[in-house]
Amino acid sequence: MFRDEVFKTKYREQLLFDFYGELLSKKLKKTLLYYYNDDYSASEIADVMHLTRQGAYDAIRRGKEQLRQYEDKLKLVERFEKTQRLISKIENELLKLKENKQVQSSSEAMAVLNNISEQVERFSYED
């Protein structure tokens, strides 16, 4: 259970960085880029950025805190996650409808469902 929580926390932090990383100072962005994208430890970050280990820890902590503050104000990640959950529910409901024998007997209904499914899929994978 502990590992799942660590994974969820790291995943959430990575999302925050993906959404708000551009808003950080260049130094904090670079620090967190090493931390999240390259999976560097604070010691490794300290070496490549010519900081003390404590300086690297502090930069990581400050960067994470700023990301959380941006999310507290803007709620972009929260809205993204809600949208993802909603899309998943819509896809499941569409699948159930498509498997329904009565719906399958109507080519018009199937065409509409297939069209909606394609739109939902395109929406979920747009860049």
- Our CA angle for 9, 10, 15, nearest 5°, is 100
Q: Which residues of 7-25 are buried (b: 16+ CB within 10 A; e: fewer)?
A: eeeeeebbbbbebbbeebe
Q: So what's the pLDDT on residue 70?
A: 98
Fold of 2-74: Arc Repressor Mutant, subunit A (1.10.10)
Question: Against a cut of 0.85, is the pTM above it?
Answer: no
Q: Which of 92, 94, 124, 91 is nearest to 109 (CA)?
A: 94
| Largest separation between any pair of C-alpha atoms in the chain | 69
Output the pLDDT for position 4.
Answer: 87
pLDDT digits (tens, 9 = 90+) for 9-62: 999 999 999 999 999 999 999 999 999 999 999 999 999 999 999 999 999 999
Residues 79, 93: Cα–Cα separation, whole Å: 21
**Per-domain residue ranges for the chain?**
2-74, 78-125
Grade residue 108 by pLDDT with cuts at 50, 70 and 90: very high
